[in-house]
Structure 1
Amino acid sequence: MRILYINHYAGSPQHGMEFRPYYLAREWVRAGHEVQIVAADYSHLRQKNPTLAANYADEDIDGIRYTWCKTPRYEGNGLSRVINIFRFLGRVMGLSGRYLKQWRPDVVIASSTYPLDTVPAAFIARKTGARLVYEVHDLWPLTPVEVGGMSPRHPFIRLLQWAEDFGYRKADTVVSMLPCALDYMRSRGMAAEKYVVIPNGVDVAEWQGARAPLPEAHRAQLAALKAGKRFIVGYAGGHGLANALDFLLDAANLLRDDNIALLLVGDGADKQALLEQAAKLQLDNVHFLPAIAKHAVPALLAECDALYIGWRKLPIYRFGINPNKMFDYMMAGKPVIHSVEAGNDMVAEAGAGISVGAEDAAAIADAIRRMAALTPNERGRMGAAGKAFVLARHDYRVLAKRFLQGLK
């Protein structure tokens, strides 16, 4: 089978996020399929973007043919990003001749977070007789309206809404990463039988291989905390508004008399504000460290006693959440403290930790105390349950097979 995967932000191990297209495509290639990924050369998500001398460049990565499309850089979510989006869509249409004449796909996947790529994907699928798949990461334009505060009457939002509805109508299969979005998608014109849930996952081989060592600063901090016999609650990931780390710091303020330490590893737009909050509260039980390489994350998580993930109290989460960080946490075999209000809760479902409400510092502090009061064996059983849950449901080898089995 020939699979054309259109994802504006697709990354790879050598470029950085996002990884889902790479992991799925790699498994399909291993199964004997041909896969081509079309992506923009510039993405704010990647650690390293390719450099193009022409409008297009092809590159082989682990048997996957990547076609990079030249697009302008952008900052934030303003006009420059909109220009970047439309330049990419134009580049995809410019490639359509290749897929109509040289390499005719059997499946075309539109997967760029925003729904506008459903249009060139549908054009290529119709001309080649391929099956069309609309892969939904987040609900656009609902996310920029409910989370970003944009008016539903804004011309760009209206265009996104048209494109989303178009995708639901035209696609042969709608692959949703959100487990609770069926009713919403049906309300936008999708036939229920098109709906297939394929969540994010984890590359199990990365956890079974050799672990990269931690930087010296991280090793030294962990050693000092262990010497003080602190119960270490770790967080590894972005320090942004969505991560609700300000409530974790408020919880730390309530825990200042406990022998508990919070270790926050990562970077992000809100890190400076969090540092200032910790300084204002005079928190000596919170320790910030820089982000580390992806392959060093297992070594970091292994040194923690429990792990934390939190969310804002946002209506958009009623459709479900699907965080990559959660899979790393569970693969580490550590119990998880989950602060959440959403349509699903993997920690509760797996029996992998303690769940409390979102944006509730007192409840977070209480959950941390309860976790610290458990015996190592009790926490170990929680961690083992989480790992078993991920291996059964979120291994990319399993998800890649389910994805193709779900095509209609």
Structure 2
Amino acid sequence: MTSKAIWVINQFAGHTNSGWGERHFLFSKYWIENGFDVTIISGSFNHVFKNYPHAPFKYNYEIIEKRKFCWVKVPKYKAESAKRFWSMLVFAFRCIGLKKNELGKPDVIIVSSMPIFPILSALILKIKYKKVKILFEIRDLWPESLIQIKEISKIHPLVLFFRLFEWIGYKYSDRIITLLPNSIEYFKKFNIKSNKISIIPNGIDINLKNEELNKELVNKLTNQKFKIIYTGTIGYPNCIELLVKSAELLKNNTDIHFYIVGDGHQKENCIKLAKDLTNITFIDKVPKSYVQSILKFADVCFIGWRELGLYKHGVSANKYFDYMLAAKPILDSNNLIKDPVELSGCGLIVKPDSAEAIANGIIELYSLGDEKLKEMGQKGREFVSKNHNIKHLASLYSELFG
């Protein structure tokens, strides 16, 4: 009996050296071990990769650690430009023309949104190939994110356009997979029965190889300060400008130092905010394999969310699991959204959208002492090992391929 062929269509899918989008790369290690034939179909460009593939042709093929990649050539764009939207449409259109003689015939197609448009591509491929199971994976709720984060009207033409693809995906896919643990009620608004929905959050490979840092990075991180470290995207939803403002509030406390590791369209703005501060250091984005080595230096890690109703559906950011695997206590700025920090007790939650609350939280954690902080961190380590081990999640996922 031949193995089932799994296609993952996700314009933002990467590998451990891409700097983003490792979810399906990590899952596929265990899918392949269990006899599945996996192809990851991604875009040649997106605004969050650190390293890009060589992709001179419309379709470009590569084997990376036993995973087959098809890099679909798409236009380059800036993060906040309209051309980003065009790039997504080009990717979706070109996915319709994926070559059977190069990739074979799929048995299962996973469409991971965002972007949402390839769900239509997958449904067209299902008509072409017959007997293909379509799994529609929701990493973020669109167009709901557009409405709440960008404050766009629910009847804006762009929102309605996204809504059409959302409705098509929910209605015609064989199963919906959501990363968001509290989102079942959201899907019920579309008359979707709960038995069509599976919750498979992000996770982490607890056996992921950790690379040693270069001397320059080690020197930046080595001091006797109480270190607050953030690793990840520096964008509007991540509240990093509030972390910078909390550093300003605490600038007279010479025992505390802030490190912000990553890139994003808000980075330059945050650097400008911090131009007169000596208690904050910015470090460029690093590959996933270096993150744990950086976090070894942390006393506390930070994650923040805006005060938006969007997040009541839950969150599953990878940085939670990076921090928890490192057994570090987490300062979490949110509105009690039943996230991993709240569920595990591995940190302190303060109100969102407040630099003062973040600063006060840092002082509270600073005053707890090493033993209490270590106890918090260990709770996180135990929680992530039990609930977000990528091998276990990959097994749950593969049960849906039948």
Instruction: Identify whether the pair has TM-score above 0.5, normalized to the shorter chain.
Output: yes
The one-letter code sitting in structure 2 at the alignment partner of 1:202 is I
State the 1:129 CA deviation: 0.6
Partner of 1:31: 34
Structure 1 34/40 Cα, relative in aligned 2: closer, same or farther at 3 Å?
Answer: same
Structure 1 339/160 Cα, relative in aligned 2: closer, same or farther at 3 Å?
Answer: same
Paired with 1:68 and 1:267, the residues of 2 have a C-alpha distance of 23
**Unpaired runs of 5+ in structure 1?**
none
* SS, match of residue 274 in structure 2: helix
State the 1:120 CA deviation: 1.7
Partner of 2:211: 211
Partner of 1:263: 259
Q: Is the 8 A contact 1:319 1:342 kept in 2?
A: no
The one-letter code sitting in structure 1 at the alignment partner of 2:195 is E
Counterpart of 2:329 (choices 335, 340, 356) is: 335
Structure 1 301/214 Cα, relative in aligned 2: closer, same or farther at 3 Å?
Answer: farther
Cα-Cα RMSD: 2.1
Matched, 1:306 2:305: no
Matched, 1:246 2:241: yes
Deviation track 1:233-264 (CA, whole Å, cap 9, x = no partner) reads: 22222322222122223323333343322222
Structure 1 288/122 Cα, relative in aligned 2: closer, same or farther at 3 Å?
Answer: same
Paired with 1:148 and 1:387, the residues of 2 have a C-alpha distance of 35
State the 1:5 CA deviation: 1.1
Structure 1 219/307 Cα, relative in aligned 2: closer, same or farther at 3 Å?
Answer: same
Paired with 1:287 and 1:210, the residues of 2 have a C-alpha distance of 22
Paired with 1:290 and 1:359, the residues of 2 have a C-alpha distance of 25
Partner of 1:103: 104
How does the TM-score come out when normalised to structure 1?
0.91
Counterpart of 2:54 (choices 26, 51, 55) is: 51
The one-letter code sitting in structure 1 at the alignment partner of 2:234 is H
Paired with 1:401 and 1:181, the residues of 2 have a C-alpha distance of 22
Q: Is the 8 A contact 1:9 1:112 kept in 2?
A: no
Q: Is the 8 A contact 1:118 1:163 kept in 2?
A: yes
* SS, match of residue 95 in structure 1: coil
Paired with 1:393 and 1:178, the residues of 2 have a C-alpha distance of 14
Matched, 1:163 2:165: yes
State the 1:53 CA deviation: 3.3
* SS, match of residue 348 in structure 2: strand
Deviation track 1:382-406 (CA, whole Å, cap 9, x = no partner) reads: 1111011111111111111111224
Q: Is the 8 A contact 1:234 1:264 kept in 2?
A: yes
Partner of 1:365: 359
Counterpart of 1:316 (choices 310, 327, 331) is: 310
Structure 1 397/71 Cα, relative in aligned 2: closer, same or farther at 3 Å?
Answer: same
State the 1:42 CA deviation: 1.8
State the 1:28 CA deviation: 0.5
Q: Percent of aligned pairs with the same residue?
A: 29
State the 1:117 CA deviation: 1.2
Structure 1 312/211 Cα, relative in aligned 2: closer, same or farther at 3 Å?
Answer: same
Paired with 1:210 and 1:51, the residues of 2 have a C-alpha distance of 25
Structure 1 289/79 Cα, relative in aligned 2: closer, same or farther at 3 Å?
Answer: closer
Partner of 1:11: 14
State the 1:187 CA deviation: 0.7
Partner of 2:25: 22
Paired with 1:56 and 1:214, the residues of 2 have a C-alpha distance of 36
Paired with 1:264 and 1:221, the residues of 2 have a C-alpha distance of 12
Structure 1 403/244 Cα, relative in aligned 2: closer, same or farther at 3 Å?
Answer: same
Comparing 149-158 with 186-195, greater Cα deviation is found at 149-158
Q: Is the 8 A contact 2:50 2:285 kept in 1?
A: no
Structure 1 284/84 Cα, relative in aligned 2: closer, same or farther at 3 Å?
Answer: closer
Paired with 2:400 and 2:229, the residues of 1 have a C-alpha distance of 37
Map 1:5-404 → 2, pairs under 5 A: 5-95=8-98, 103-126=104-127, 127-206=129-208, 209-216=209-216, 218-223=217-222, 225-226=223-224, 230-258=225-253, 259-279=255-275, 282-341=276-335, 343-404=337-398
Structure 1 81/277 Cα, relative in aligned 2: closer, same or farther at 3 Å?
Answer: closer
State the 1:323 CA deviation: 0.9
Q: Is the 8 A contact 1:9 1:18 kept in 2?
A: yes
Deviation track 1:337-364 (CA, whole Å, cap 9, x = no partner) reads: 1111253221121111111111122222
Q: Is the 8 A contact 1:335 1:352 kept in 2?
A: yes
Comparing 295-304 with 46-55, greater Cα deviation is found at 46-55
**Unpaired runs of 5+ in structure 2?**
none
Deviation track 1:202-250 (CA, whole Å, cap 9, x = no partner) reads: 12222xx45322441x322333x31xxx222222223222221222233
- Kindly report structure 1 stretches of 4+ aligned residues shifted beyond 6 Å: none
The one-letter code sitting in structure 1 at the alignment partner of 2:132 is A
Structure 1 105/330 Cα, relative in aligned 2: closer, same or farther at 3 Å?
Answer: same
Q: Is the 8 A contact 2:210 2:292 kept in 1?
A: no
Structure 1 91/222 Cα, relative in aligned 2: closer, same or farther at 3 Å?
Answer: closer
The one-letter code sitting in structure 2 at the alignment partner of 1:64 is R
Q: Is the 8 A contact 2:26 2:390 kept in 1?
A: yes
Q: Is the 8 A contact 1:16 1:46 kept in 2?
A: yes
Comparing 185-194 with 266-275, greater Cα deviation is found at 266-275
Give 1 or 2: higher helix fraction: 1
Paired with 1:81 and 1:268, the residues of 2 have a C-alpha distance of 15
* SS, match of residue 111 in structure 1: strand
